[in-house]
Chain A
Amino acid sequence: MTDERRIGVYICHCGGNISDYVDVKRVVEAVQGEPGVIVARDTIFACADASQQEMEEDIVKHHLDGLVVASCSPKLHTLTFRGVARRAGINPYQYTQVNIREQDSWTHTDNPAGATHKAISLVKSGIARTRLTEPLEPLVVETTQRALVIGAGIAGLRAAIGLADVGLEVFLVERERELGGWVGRFGAIYPHGRNGRDLIASLVDEVRKRSSITVFTNAELMAKSGSFGNYVAAIRINTDLPELIHVEVGSIIVATGFDSYQPEAGEYGYGIDGVVTLPEFKALVDGANGSLTYHGRPVRTIAYIYCVGSRQPGANEYCSRYCCAATTHAALEVAALDGQVHQYHLYRDIRTYGKYELMYTESRKRGSVYMKFPEDAPPEVSRDAAGRLTVTTRDLLTEGQELAIPTDLVVLVTGMVPRKNEELMSLLKVPVGTDGFFNEIHPKLRPVETVVDGVLIAGACQGPKNSAESVASGLAAVTQSAAILKKGVAELDPLVATVDADACTWCDKCIGACPYSAIEQVEVGGRQVATISPATCKGCGGCVPVCPEDAIDLRGYTDAQIRAAIDSMLEEPVA
């Protein structure tokens, strides 16, 4: 039976990424005679358009019915080569990607012979799997032309408007009583000095104008069910009489924002009167009436200590991105209030990237003094016996001088931390990174998408961002929602688990193994058996090994295919 297959095999050089360590020509020779292999070639860049076209020509010319490309991680190019297969008339699921780069050439740079040997094994195993592939059809689901936005900060509000403007209905859910999040509490913000409250007011106004946006305040997402394109969200509205409503949506944009880093008591003197965080200081500046005062006393000197809660080894190791620019902007505001205020900035690197550099330059022109402190000897804040607030630091810009700066106010330039929201995280099942922020699929190319299809992340919940950047990412999430919803239908991978009802004895072990709640108990012919919702199943395979009756199989990764792949790998003697 296997001899009847007609498989094309392509081994990629990946420029030199693979061929510098793997003898690609040898791999081609070694797999040429494998049963079912009709064409075996090497290619400099399998993913290049011209190579794709060559494959398509081969497929047509040699009537191939299976395709194997040995190149990089399936994460990168599975869809690329499924596309090749589809365009040339092969069922896309009769394609197998073999990873000889991340799992071979990059890993064994010190052993080219071994890497070549391993590549041969991997490719043979991929061929073995391909011999047993069957054509599969994607699941086509109709999508609901509605979206849910969680969080009505600047990103969420702007996203809601954007969704409405491209013709989608929107449910906007905000936990607080007021819309607007952080920006709604600010006065002038960078880079253009516009008033945060005004910005939010104008967005809220735009939201109100759009009948296709339904706003829920004091509301929380309680549950999410259904699957991509047709989620059902349970929203609890916390009024006097809490109410639970269910809405059907095609996509969910999570825009839950950030928390400001809250220093520990004693951290850089936090707790001492006159030591404030950046948001506290911002409120002070925003509220200043003519001159800057703190507890009724005029502020003549300010010392800013940067990177509080950010870039801390063993703690928050990330940079919070927005704080340098926010602080230079605040310093300019102070200078505008009172040009005589002494402002000392104790920093590590000033990260006023791009055009924000202009604020940094301007603040220096207006008298701000910047001092760089050593990473291993941060400034210390104290109040001396006389009650004077003093910051001591070493300034690397003046030959490392030890300086004591008497000051009226110490501003701890606190960064962003992930918003604490365990319930939401667990019900959305969107993974978070080591920094605690939501993780995107690909930080470069797919920054608003998550591994959960149709659940998108926007604004600072994905990572620190300023307000303009949050708005841009909110709109990017709009674009992504529209791109998947406006077609009206979505295709889902058919690589899902299936239950052989005859073999199933309903022991319920599989239910416990499914992280996606895709398995239900049903009655078939008077017997209780498990059934798996193909739209909900993510094809993780967790249920397959726990079934004592071997009644579950995973399409595209059947036991037979995996066994054949392993057997084939073992046939190859270890060099």
Chain B
Amino acid sequence: MSMDYDVLVVGSGIGGMESALKLGDMGYKVLVVEKEASVGGRMILLSKVFPTLDCASCISTPKMAATIHHPNLTVLTYSEVQGIRRDAAGRFHAKVRQKARYVDEVACTGCQQCETACTVAVPDQFNADLVARRAAYIAFPQAVPKKAVIDRQGSSPCTFACPAGIEAHGYVSLIRSGEYEKAHRLVLDATPLVGTLGRACYAPCEADCTRGSLEGTLPIRRLKRFISDRHAETGADLGIDVAEPNGRRVAVVGSGPAGLTAAWQLARKGYAVRILEAAPEPGGFLRLAIPSYRLPTEVVERDIDNVRALGVEIVTNTPVRDLAALKAEGYDAVLVATGTPRSTDLGVPGEDRLGVLGGPEFLRKVKLGQPVDVAGRRVVVVGGGNVAMDAARVALRLGAASVTVAYRRGRFEMPAHHVEADDAEKEGVRFSFQVAPKEVEGDASGAVSGLRCLRMVLGEPDASGRRRPEPIPGSEFVLPCEVIIGAIGMTPDTAAFASQVGVERRGTLRADPKTLQTDVPYIFAAGDVVNGATDITRAVGEGRRAAHMIDRWLTAGTMDGFDLRLPVVDKAQVLARQQQYTLRPPTPEGVTLSAAPLDFSEVEAPLSEQEAHEAAGRCMDCGVCSGCHECVNVCPVDGCIDLNARDRESEVEVGAVVVSTGYKLFAADLKPQYGFGKYRNVITGMQMDRLLAPTRPFNTILRPGDGKVPERIAYVMCTGSRDETVDNPLCSKFCCMYSIKQNQLIMGALPLADVTVHYMDIRAAGKRYDEFYEQSKSMGANYIKGRVAKITEKEDGNLVLRYEDIESGGQLVEAEYDLVVLAVGVQPNRDAARLFVGEELAEDPYYYVAEPDEDLNPGLTSIPGVFVAGAASGAKDIVDSILHAGAAAAQAAAHLERTQAKAKVPA
């Protein structure tokens, strides 16, 4: 949809508001686009303004309110202008992207409950990073509009990495807030298998944790175990919302992670669900394969009880052969989630000898308490996957005389997680790499006596990217053993379904990867039975997807809307948010291994509450919003917060554009000799303005390092200005004056404090400015000419300034202060030039928007019909910005009068 305005004003700082208001008064229709959540720009954040010492809030707020209430102004906050293009007729077409606020701007009452409930704190840009704000926030108390925004910069890498779709960042931030039960509920929102995943998951989240590039990843998986155990200990209710029964029935075949998760999700949506399980116990691989030292049976049972608690019926010892029969029994849909229960044969002669077992079969027997004869025997496990590691370690625990893993490639190529292989080795498992079985040798009784193997050499990489093993001729040898466990792969058991649904060559079911629907519409398939052997998280994710799709299919909606993740955030940008990070040592590993273990007790210790709290505290809140949903839960207006909202784009056509994108402040850490970002008591002028403002964060002037009220305060003028070493030869114009203003405010607030200003020239050029400077001197501020060379920090946080005292003979002096304020200047905001496509908005040599005819036509830019207002064209204080914005408005109005036939003057 295209909407027409006379003028587009980009930016709503004091310059943008002035231009827009005056153009509106003249009768033009104006669209104001502001990228922040409130209009007002920087002025509203200041304490007072020079030289009148008016309260900045008090004189900004009427302008801000006027801007959004003006009948001729339309204001879009939290929005960005992209790609302004001028057409042949000289009119402009612009895309406006309204960034998702995730809060309904109309419905929001500004009550701030979301802000209170939010579990994420990030540096508050509206307080110059002196304090934190929440991810759900209202920009500042006087924000216009006073509506909340949820800062979702993207999916956090941990959350994005989770195949199960668990809000990893969300539960970590809830644990950090001490909300263990809420954290547990957040995981339950994805899957009932909280305890299981807390132990047996391979935690792809941890591999992607941004903290991993600092001191080490957060123990995200163990945090999940912590909340699960905690929940079990307290015996709390699940606290999960379940819809009213909807009258529909779904049969789930198989009770592994995919089936259990699907059943759980369907039950929550009001379906009557029955799980049909072939084995005597439910849980699939969780219950019947993963060894108890990794995943105790009672934990799996606890998780399965979650599913039962929602009314899901689990029937064991019930293999399903006929899926159509289920339909006939009255199920509206059937989900096949039978996994990969069969071992792949070794495919070598002698495989039928006594003492040769499949890996899953071996593990299942052990889990069911059935006898396996490995005690005192030599065991060879063939394969390099996780099942092989499990089998080897279980064999050790059953008292095998020795356990050797034979794998045809090298250690690096093993599909098992490296930690599993390492742990197996630490427990005494031996490895024999680059060997492939050739034949099972046996004695006369038919029992195994050894495994004849061939040595392999690794050739070129194959399709999997791993180097292909090739036999070395004549390298045969025998591994003597009595037991051989074949763990080279697993396959589904789907022969019975072949007549009803499509089955692939390797036995997997054919299903649409997005909808998980098979060739038969009411039959869905999920998990390893579709994909072949993967892992628990993937199965859980598929189970969730299947439940979602079955529901969509049955409720006649389109089969979409499952994966609503935002794109993952860029880790480099996350790390760049702060100049430095305090060292937060990683949580020590909790696994204790002993050589030759003989019991099945858990090898990994739980996290204590303190450890969990500290571990969660290391989270860097990469995506900012953690997805903990606390805001959604507390918001008193139903449907007001929607975390699945998305940016909206619209097109506008306008007759003129006013660019009032303002300036950037110099990044003070670019002057390392002043120690900003390193010395906590070195702050910027903007930070001091925040310390002095009526909405000040600490209600007094204090130094950030230790909260001490400073007695000796130094100003370092021209930080980043008039300085070729940072490529800025320009003067920033307003730093002298804001510093003088702050000097007076400090002397008013702290009558005993000494204020010293180290300056080059005091540039009090403007109406009543020099008088203001003289007043400051007479109040007792001390002005010393000479640039500060270096600042060093003492142990007590005090700062030593080394400078030349020019007026007292030019000697080098060192002086100690409690607090140092760097009077940072301006930098061009190059976003202005990026607004345009098709032609260039010319910049001056210092990257400010150029005014080619500044002498006679201030505000005119290189593009006809585009005008610049305020500091976007160079450093300006408020007065100069107001005048310049007024000039830009006159220019824009003249342009509109020239180009638009009819003047749009309201009656």
Contacts and interface: CB of A to CB of B under 8 A. Distances in A.
Interface string A308-340: 001101000111010010000000000000000
Contacts of B833: none
B44 to A, nearest CB: 10
Contacts of B769: 319
A214 interface: no
B69 A83 contact: yes
Interface residues of B, number: 84
Contacts of B537: none
Contact of A444 (B49, B143, B764, B905): B49
Contacts of B22: 479-480, 482-483
Nearest to A448: B886
A80 B25 CA distance: 16
Interface string B24-51: 0111000000000000000000000101
B142 A47 contact: yes
Interface in B207-258: none
Contact of A399 (B763, B810, B859): B810
Nearest to A323: B765
A126 B768 CA distance: 34
Interface in A161-199: 162, 165-167, 189, 191-192, 194, 199
Contact of A166 (B880, B886, B897): B897
Interface stretch (A71-79, A242-250, A256-264, A564-572): A71-79
A396 interface: yes
A192 B850 CA distance: 13
Interface stretch (A221-229, A383-391, A423-431, A469-477): A469-477
Contact of A354 (B63, B731, B857): B731
Given A47-B58, A357-B722, A487-B27, A318 B771 contact: yes
Contacts of B858: 468, 471-472, 475
A47 B62 contact: yes
Given A48-B142, A52-B65, A445-B63, A476 B882 contact: yes
A358 B729 contact: yes
Contacts of B699: 16
Contacts of B886: 448, 472-473, 475-480
A374 B729 CA distance: 26
Interface stretch (B155-163, B352-360, B888-896): B888-896
Interface in B693-750: 693-696, 699, 722, 729-733
B65 A351 contact: no
B67 to A, nearest CB: 10
Secondary structure type dominating chain B contacts: loop
B62 A79 contact: yes
A270 B884 CA distance: 38
Contacts of B141: 15, 44-45, 48
A79 B59 CA distance: 12
Contacts of B146: 48-50
B763 A349 contact: yes
A397 B49 CA distance: 32
A353 B765 contact: yes
B854 A192 contact: yes
Nearest to A77: B62
A444 B890 contact: no
Contacts of A464: 767
A79 B58 CA distance: 13
A188 B858 CA distance: 18
B273 interface: no
B890 A47 contact: no
B686 to A, nearest CB: 17
B68 interface: yes
A399 B889 CA distance: 50
Contacts of B57: 14-15, 45, 47
A317 B7 CA distance: 43
A483 B856 CA distance: 21
Given A351-B764, A400-B809, A486-B26, A80 B874 contact: no
A397 B761 contact: no
A206 B25 CA distance: 26
A521 interface: no
Contacts of A194: 855
A203 B61 CA distance: 38
Interface stretch (A276-284, A435-443, A505-513, A533-541): A435-443
A355 interface: yes
A318 B846 contact: no
Contacts of A399: 809-810
A15 B695 contact: yes
A48 B146 CA distance: 8
Nearest to A165: B894
Contact of B903 (A162, A167, A311, A352): A167
Given A49-B64, A475-B887, A15 B694 contact: yes
A351 B761 contact: yes
B893 A166 contact: yes
B694 A16 contact: yes
A488 interface: yes
B898 interface: yes
B854 A443 contact: no
B144 interface: yes
A437 B767 contact: yes
Contacts of B903: 167, 486
B696 to A, nearest CB: 8
B890 A479 contact: yes
A324 B770 CA distance: 14
A350 interface: yes
Given A17-B694, A354-B874, A476 B887 contact: yes
A199 B884 CA distance: 19
A361 interface: yes
Contacts of B59: 76, 442, 444-445
Contacts of A400: 807, 809
A285 to B, nearest CB: 19
B874 A355 contact: yes
Contact of A321 (B766, B785, B884): B766
10 contacts: A48-B143, A76-B59, A165-B890, A166-B893, A321-B766, A351-B765, A353-B763, A471-B857, A482-B890, A488-B905
Given A472-B887, A478-B886, 10 more contacts: A49-B68, A80-B65, A191-B854, A313-B774, A355-B731, A399-B809, A444-B52, A468-B855, A475-B887, A486-B905
Interface of A: 14-17, 44-45, 47-50, 52, 72, 76-77, 79-80, 83, 87, 158, 162, 165-167, 189, 191-192, 194, 199, 202-203, 310-311, 313, 317-319, 321, 324, 349-358, 361, 372, 374, 396-400, 433, 435, 437, 442-445, 447-448, 462-464, 467-469, 471-480, 482-484, 486-488
**What 4 A-B pairs are tightest by C-beta distance, nearest first?**
A15-B694, A476-B886, A483-B25, A165-B894
